[in-house]
């Protein structure tokens, strides 16, 4: 044999071409237990009903498994081993082997003879085996027929032999029958399994079809209802082949479908957008644009307007991977861009306005963090933005005012209401100046706070004036009090004298009475002034005792009842007792009742209502006068405020309600008024019962 010991050689085209024509043989690589097929002749393929690609590079025993495989393999393997061991040709006895025949579609039994010859490598070892197979089925069948004939002859030769033969045949028949039944059973089972599989497969197929249809529908819906305009431009001309309703809305009655983009929208010809579109078609690179200006006409007949769009251009690929169009996803943002620009302009103007203001000003974000100061702030404080941003402004507030300022600031932020406070701010030279700080919230259309704008106005001089006024009021009222007291004493003596004497002229009596009335008024005014300055100086102290409210009211309002003109109607809990400063609560009620008479003289009915509200006692005084206009109500309790200050009809300093409020607040209670123009007013207060 030859010394051709290379796989490459046997796999080479030349060898394969040559070997194709040879007898029914295989070249196998001897590498037990593997015997890779390197070449197969045409005749071998025909013989075994195989195709070349089914054999080449495969292990022989993988290609030919079978019912008797183990046994047959063993035989063939034994033969191969003998060849390798003995380095001699080896011939296998005839064996039976089933082969799948394509023509009949089933396995058929064949009989084979097999000769194996060695091919050696350089060292003289068996490297390859030539396996030549012959189909000897026909021969064997003939031999079998012959044997049968012979058997028939010998059958006639003896009863015994016949009997034995019959018995053997019968046994074979029984075995065969049993095998047949088993085979039938297996077949039935196989058939059942097959049917099941077919049914399952059909169901799967139907499901898949349904799913595909659903998906198509979903896509269609998505496309039609997408919150963006979508269109498909196809071919090098970029022709509109598909547009969704939203896309059409950008162009109202303009005809797009079926037209190349330049025919449909000629105005884009010289615009950058057209070059971008072409570029996506040519390069396949996706383009994303934000707020891009594209002058376009909305209608066939309307003029071109500046419009802004957010969009994505994405190349579309055909099955062969070549770009055949561009998908466009687009949203018009013209309105948003214009709104934003307007806001930016407004903000700019607002910023300029704040800069030109003489006051210090700033802005806070909705949470109260300062994010801007005007130049006045830096000029005044000498501090930088970094030092005072967010809550850094605390450094500029007088330490004594800081807690009060922070408290007021926090509650204003929480309630979203005006922030207002008088505080001392530190000048860059180290001195403090009084400022009136105010901040108001700005809100959007949904009423949400977008920012706060604050100003601080220098009121140091006003404060100084106020201080001087306080001092003046304090001194003047003190100075007035002494002569007024002696004047009252003199008038009282005069009064007594007049009452004793009988021949006093009437005019004198009248003048003394009138002097008494006017003196009382002046004394009341001076007392109010004194009280208010004391309150301002923090000198309001309480002297609490337990008393029944209705009794207190009875005695304090006696003078009104005695006058006879007014009907004081006391209602409610007449037993209610409180622990409070009786003299000061008396002062509050007298003030309410006097005001009702003074400002609602036409209302002769005055209702005094005493109720218990939880832990508090509530007293209200209701008149049916002309009422108070709503814009004045918030200021009624301010010091020196007078709602009826236009005429000289009503005397007063605007201190009564201010003093009342201070007294009630000192008690830990609340004070207020409800009033309707033309119907009357109800002034009320609450104080804790204990």
The binding site for ligand ADP (CB under 6 A) comprises: 591, 595-596, 599-600, 623, 625, 628, 636, 641-644, 652-658, 681
Taking the complex as a whole, the smallest distance from the CB of residue 675 to ligand ADP amounts, in Å, to 7
CA–CA separation, 660 and 520 (whole Å):
20
CA-CA distance, 669 to 658, in Å (whole number)?
A: 14
Longest dimension (CA), the chain: 195
Rounded to a whole number of angstroms, the minimum distance from the CB of residue 642 to ligand ADP is 4
CB of 424 to ligand ADP, least distance (A): 29
CB contact at 8 A, 542 and 665: no
- The smaller minimum CB distance to ligand ADP, of residues 498 and 653, is found at 653
Select 455 or 681, whichever has its Cβ closest to ligand ADP.
681
Query: How many CA atoms within 13 Å lie on the side-chain side of 254?
Result: 26
What residues have CB less than 8 Å from 231, skipping those under 6 apart?
240, 242, 243, 244, 247, 256, 327, 328, 330
Residue 686 CA to residue 670 CA, distance in Å, equals 5
Query: Taking Cα atoms as reference points, which of 404, 448, 438, 435 lies closest to residue 418?
Result: 438
Bin 416: left if φ > 0, else alpha if -120 < ψ < 50, else beta: left
> Is 328 or 535 the residue whose CB approaches ligand ADP more closely?
535
Minimal distance, residue 653 CB to ligand ADP, in Å: 5
The nearer residue to ligand ADP, 86 or 645, going by C-beta atoms, is 645
Shortest Cβ distance from residue 531 to ligand ADP (Å)?
12
Residue closest to ligand ADP, measured at CB: 652
Nearer to ligand ADP, 24 or 477 (CB): 477
- Confirm if 48 and 54 have CB atoms less than 8 A apart: no
CB of 553 to ligand ADP, least distance (A): 17
* Strands 360-364 and 449-458, bridge-based pairing: antiparallel
For residue 40, how many other CB atoms are within 10 A of its CB? 26
In angstroms, rounded to a whole number, what is the distance separating the alpha carbons of residues 380 and 548?
A: 57
In this complex, which beta carbon is closest to ligand ADP, that of residue 354 or of residue 673?
A: 673
Minimum distance from residue 664 beta carbon to ligand ADP (Å)? 13
By C-beta, is 392 or 601 nearer to ligand ADP? 601
- Which residue, 455 or 661, has its beta carbon nearer to ligand ADP? 661
Which is closer to ligand ADP, CB of 402 or CB of 568?
568
Q: Which of 390, 391, 356 is nearest to 375 (CA)?
A: 356
User: CA angle, corner 227, sides to 221 and 233, nearest 5?
Assistant: 75
Q: Which is nearer to ligand ADP, 83 or 628 (CB)?
A: 628
| Cβ closest to ligand ADP, residue 226 vs residue 633 | 633
Least separation in angstroms between CB 651 and ligand ADP: 8
Specify the residue, 582 or 623, whose C-beta has the smaller distance to ligand ADP.
623
109 in helix, strand or coil?
A: strand
Provide the minimum distance between the beta carbon of 540 and ligand ADP in the complex, in angstroms, as a whole number.
16
Q: Which two tokens stand for residue 648?
A: 């000289």
Question: 380 or 683: whose CB is closer to ligand ADP?
Answer: 683
State how beta strands 308-317 and 616-622 pair: unpaired
> Which token pair is 60?
């022989």
Q: Which is nearer to ligand ADP, 72 or 623 (CB)?
A: 623
Q: Does residue 669 contact residue 690 with C-beta atoms inside 8 Å?
A: no
Burial bucket for residue 683 (CB in 10 Å: 0-12, 13-18, 19+):
buried
SS3 at position 397: strand
Helix (H, G, I), strand (E, B) or coil at 434: strand
CA distances from 416 to 347, 390, 449, 493, 635 (A): 21, 18, 8, 61, 21
User: Are the beta carbons of 5 and 128 closer than 8 angstroms?
Assistant: yes
Backbone angles phi, psi at 265, to 5 degrees: -130, 70
Q: Report how far residue 395's alpha carbon sits from residue 423's, in angstroms, rounded to the nearest whole number.
A: 13
Q: Min. distance of Cβ 436 from ligand ADP in angstroms?
A: 23
Give least dist CB 683 to ligand ADP, A: 6
Question: Considering the complex, what minimum distance in angstroms separates the CB of residue 633 from ligand ADP?
Answer: 9
Q: How near is the Cβ of 623 to ligand ADP at its closest, in Å? A: 5
Q: Considering beta carbons, is residue 254 or 644 the nearer one to ligand ADP?
A: 644
Question: What is the distance between the alpha carbons of residues 116 and 27, in angstroms, rounded to a whole number?
Answer: 10
Contacts 24+ apart (CB under 8 A), 80-87: 80/28, 80/30, 80/32, 80/35, 80/116, 80/129, 81/32, 83/30, 83/116, 83/117, 83/118, 83/126, 83/129, 84/30, 84/32, 84/118, 84/126, 87/118, 87/120, 87/124, 87/126
| Smallest distance from ligand ADP to CB 560, Å | 14
Q: At closest approach, how far in Å is the CB of 609 from ligand ADP?
A: 15
CB of 628 to ligand ADP, least distance (A): 5
User: Closest Cα partner for 46 from 75, 77, 21, 15?
Assistant: 21
- Alpha carbons 644 and 656: distance in angstroms, whole number: 14
Q: Tell me the residue ranges of DSSP E strands in 284-343.
A: 287-293, 296-297, 304-305, 308-317, 323-332
Looking at the Cβ atoms of 40 and 621, the one nearer to ligand ADP is 621
């Amino acid at each position: 044999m030859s010394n051709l010991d290379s796989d490459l050689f046997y796999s080479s085209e030349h060898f394969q071409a040559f070997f194709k024509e040879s007898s029914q043989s295989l070249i196998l690589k001897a590498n037990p237990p593997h015997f890779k097929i390197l070449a197969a002749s045409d005749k071998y393929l025909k013989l075994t009903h195989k195709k070349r690609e089914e054999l080449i590079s495969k292990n022989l025993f993988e290609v030919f498994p079978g019912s008797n495989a183990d046994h047959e393999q063993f035989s063939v393997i034994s033969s191969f081993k003998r060849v390798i061991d003995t380095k001699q040709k080896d011939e296998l006895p005839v064996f039976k082997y089933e082969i799948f025949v394509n023509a009949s579609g089933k396995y058929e039994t064949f009989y084979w003879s097999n000769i194996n010859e060695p091919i050696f490598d350089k060292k003289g070892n068996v490297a390859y085996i030539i396996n030549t197979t012959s189909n000897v089925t026909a021969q064997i069948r003939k031999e079998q027929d012959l044997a049968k004939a012979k058997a028939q002859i010998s059958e006639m030769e003896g009863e015994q032999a016949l009997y034995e033969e019959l018995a053997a045949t019968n046994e074979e028949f029984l075995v065969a029958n049993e095998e047949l039944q088993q085979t039938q059973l297996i077949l039935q089972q196989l058939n059942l399994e097959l049917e099941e599989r077919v049914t399952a497969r059909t169901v799967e197929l139907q499901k898949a079809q349904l799913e595909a249809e659903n998906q198509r529908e979903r896509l269609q819906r998505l496309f039609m209802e997408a919150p963006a305009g979508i269109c498909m431009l196809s071919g090098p001309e970029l022709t509109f082949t598909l547009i969704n309703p939203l896309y059409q809305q950008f162009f109202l009655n303009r005809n797009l479908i079926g037209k190349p983009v330049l025919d449909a929208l000629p105005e884009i010809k010289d615009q950058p957008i057209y070059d971008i579109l072409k570029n996506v078609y040519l390069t396949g690179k996706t383009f994303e644009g934000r707020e891009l200006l594209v002058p376009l006409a909305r209608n066939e007949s309307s003029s071109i307007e500046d419009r802004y769009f957010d969009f994505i251009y994405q190349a579309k690929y055909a099955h062969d991977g070549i770009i055949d169009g561009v998908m466009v996803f687009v949203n018009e943002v013209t309105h948003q861009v214009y709104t934003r620009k307007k806001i930016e302009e407004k903000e700019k103007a607002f910023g300029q306005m704040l800069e030109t203001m003489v006051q210090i000003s700033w802005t806070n974000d909705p949470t109260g963090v300062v994010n801007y100061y005007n130049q006045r702030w830096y000029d005044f404080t000498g501090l930088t933005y970094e030092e005072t941003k967010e809550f850094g402004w605390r450094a500029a507030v007088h330490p004594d005012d800081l807690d009060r300022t922070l408290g007021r600031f926090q509650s204003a932020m929480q309630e979203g209401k005006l922030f207002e406070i008088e505080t001392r701010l530190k000048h860059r030279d180290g001195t403090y100046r009084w400022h009136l700080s105010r901040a108001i919230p700005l809100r959007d259309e949904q009423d949400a706070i977008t920012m706060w704008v604050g100003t601080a106005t220098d009121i140091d001089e006003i404060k100084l004036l106020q201080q001087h006024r306080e001092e003046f009021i304090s001194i003047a009222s003190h100075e007035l009090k002494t002569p007024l007291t002696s004047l009252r004493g003199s008038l009282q003596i005069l009064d007594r004298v007049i009452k004793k004497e009988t021949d006093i002229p009437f005019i004198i009596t009248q003048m003394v009475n009138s002097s008494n009335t006017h003196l009382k008024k002046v004394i009341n005014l001076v007392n109010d002034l004194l009280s208010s300055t004391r309150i301002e100086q923090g000198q309001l102290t309480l002297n609490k005792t337990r008393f029944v409210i209705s009794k207190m009211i009875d005695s304090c309002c006696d003078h009104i009842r005695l006058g006879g003109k007014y009907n004081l109607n006391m209602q409610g809990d007449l037993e209610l007792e409180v622990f409070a400063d009786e003299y000061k609560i008396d002062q509050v009620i007298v003030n309410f009742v006097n005001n009702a008479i003074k400002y609602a003289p036409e209302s002769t009915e005055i209702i005094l209502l005493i109720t218990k509200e939880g832990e508090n006692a509530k007293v209200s005084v209701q008149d049916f006068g002309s009422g108070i206009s709503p814009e004045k109500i918030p200021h009624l309790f301010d010091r020196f405020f007078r709602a009826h200050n236009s005429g000289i009809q009503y005397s007063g300093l605007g201190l009564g309600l201010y003093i009342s409020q201070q007294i009630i607040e000192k008690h830990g209670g609340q004070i207020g008024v409800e009033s309707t123009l033309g119907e009357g007013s109800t002034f009320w207060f609450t104080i804790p019962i204990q």
